[in-house]
Structure 1
């Protein structure tokens, strides 16, 4: 058993978590992909912003279509109810 702070007597799972520092040893030399340059980060942020705007536009169109259909069906239902009462 490994004692860690308030975890005395607690058995930790096997694998990456059996040592407290096993996940804290990442260094920049061990990275599989090199860090992005300032221009790459800016381009990525711009692309994400454009994608978000496109998604918001699509969502707004879908919401507008849903609302129009809802109002149409509501008007039809009210017309049927009014015709049934007469």
Structure 2
């Protein structure tokens, strides 16, 4: 197993234990919250992202990309894409 393989495995098991930058951790915390219940996302979440260096455009991009993946995965799941 390479270092990259170990890193990916750690991210998949529990990203909070992976050696991430503060910016990456804040982004992933936000994406997890958005994925679990987007109605819980608030100004404080955006303020935290700004505090680690994301601007409004970056926050919008994170939100759009995470939301799109959530959407398309649910569509695929509903249609049985990839299931045999």
TM-score after normalising by structure 1: 0.30
Larger relative helix fraction: 2
Higher RCO (CA-CA < 8 Å; seq separation 6+): 2
